[in-house]
Amino acid sequence: MAYPVLTTVIFLPVIGALLLLVIKRERENLIKWLSLTFTVLTFLASLPLFFRFDKNSSSMQFVEVFEWIPAWNIKYYLGVDGISVLFILLSALLGPLCVLISWNSIKDKMKEFYIALLLIEAAMIGVFCALDFFLFYIFWEAMLIPMYLIIGVWGGPRRIYSAIKFFLYTLVGSVLMLVGIIILYFKGGNTFDILALMSMKFPYKLQLILFWAFFAAFAVKVPMWPLHTWLPDAHTEAPTAGSVILAGILIKMGAYGFLRFSIPLFPEATKAMAPVALALSVIAIIYGGLICLVQSDLKRLIAYSSVSHMGFVTLGIFALNQQGLEGGILQMINHGIVTGALFLLVGVIYDRSHSREISHYGGLATVLPVYAGFFMVFTLASIGLPGLNGFIGEFLIILGGFKSSMLAGALAATGIIIGAAYMLWLYQRVFFQEVNPKVKGYKDMDIREIITLFPLVVLVFWIGVYPDTFLGFMHESVKELITKLNR
């Protein structure tokens, strides 16, 4: 490539945030349009990753490497493979959608909100690009501060409690991972180079210690049961854009960490601990689904559904076979699309009603037919209807789960039934039955809201009908991952 694609994609949002700093708060339209412009430019800058990625190679591509701190052997080292490339594209796509959905709903401290939004986008993309542990950790921790502010400043009534809980949970896990990184640095010959460390073989006991140090950070981020309790609170109190970022990208970081670090760096420990991870995944699938059945709050229901869906993801990853791993990666993308869209849709109706209580609604299909149509598409995608994106990922995960453990696969399959139950029951209560007098005056979706949701609808059908476009990115990288696992 003639220009550094990854650096451009990471730092375009940072440039946008710096420009917003010098704009007066009173110029609200300029702030919004500038934020939208830089998120759109970031997405456009990421497109070469889609069109020029070599699907026949498992090696890192679009690599950029420069000496940064030679005394500690730290490099500015970026690159992507078939495991990370789709997450960068998804992060870049969700950026402008978060700006659009916040267009009329964020009125207080607008400039600071969009600065936080741009900075968290840069940090998230950086996590997926970094090939130096020092650089990776900087991006990993940099995500915490803007998300803490997005929840704590622009969230709901219990925003301070939720923001502090989110921050403490993720910080504790991250500190344990930092200890693991430092041990790796010294045991690996004083290097933070992730690819170099992957080529080394560490003693089993050391692998086990490091596996759990990294597991702490990644399991909290997913979040795996029983470390999930911060997620419903964070989702419930966060503004719509914050929930979209959390569901779409942030909780994918933990699962990505298992793929990028745990499996290739600690293969023996991963195989030894896989049954524990499978058990926790199955519990998350069933527990999350059952909790959804008793929720009365729209956002809490969708938040707990994330616990269940991410249980499928970790089940696929720790099945440790081609189908499970590919299904897990694809389902991470699918979850980002579908659950991100559901939170966007909750934001649309919340802007009209200022209520998240399911009992507040009823008969919305009559009052808001366009909105009902969009919600139906993503409801069916969430429950894994064939022909939509959710089906492909869940099918591969269940297939991989059965190959790894018949019991785990069978129990996980019951989660699909529970998922259909809570999502269809939710749809019935909100959109059918008698029209609630409270919703009679609501206006249907406007053009801005339709434009925001339309790209995600396209992806739901695209992945559902022709998944090989996306699975093709990961085939070679997953094969290489399995090779490292069995070395």
pLDDT, tens digit, 9 for 90 and up, residues 106-123: 788 888 899 999 999 999
Structurally, the chain folds into a number of domains equal to: 1
Q: What is the percentage of the chain residues whose pLDDT exceeds 90?
A: 29
Going by pLDDT thresholds of 50, 70 and 90, the confidence category of residue 362 is confident
pLDDT at 2: 58
pLDDT > 80? residue 180 = yes
Q: How far apart are CA 83 and CA 472, in angstroms?
A: 11
pLDDT at 1: 46
pLDDT at 122: 93
Burial of 210 (0-12, 13-18, 19+ CB in 10 A): buried
Backbone angles phi, psi at 74, to 5 degrees: -100, 135
Q: How many residues are listed for the chain in this entry?
A: 487
pLDDT > 70? residue 301 = yes
Q: What is each CA distance from 160 to 14, 107, 223, 278, 346, in whole angstroms?
A: 26, 19, 20, 34, 22
pLDDT at 12: 93
Q: How far apart are CA 342 and CA 406, in angstroms?
A: 32
pLDDT > 80? residue 335 = yes
Going by pLDDT thresholds of 50, 70 and 90, the confidence category of residue 144 is confident
Tell me the mean pLDDT in the region 452-458: 92
Q: How far apart are CA 440 and CA 264, in angstroms?
A: 56
pLDDT > 90? residue 13 = yes
Computed over every residue of the chain, the mean pLDDT equals 88
- CB count within 10 Å of CB 56 equals 8
Tell me the mean pLDDT in the region 369-381: 92
Q: What is each CA distance from 403 to 220, 321, 324, 412, in whole angstroms?
A: 27, 8, 9, 13
pLDDT at 355: 82
Tell me the mean pLDDT in the region 63-88: 89
pLDDT at 138: 92
Domain containing 223: what range? 5-485
Tell me the mean pLDDT in the region 220-246: 83
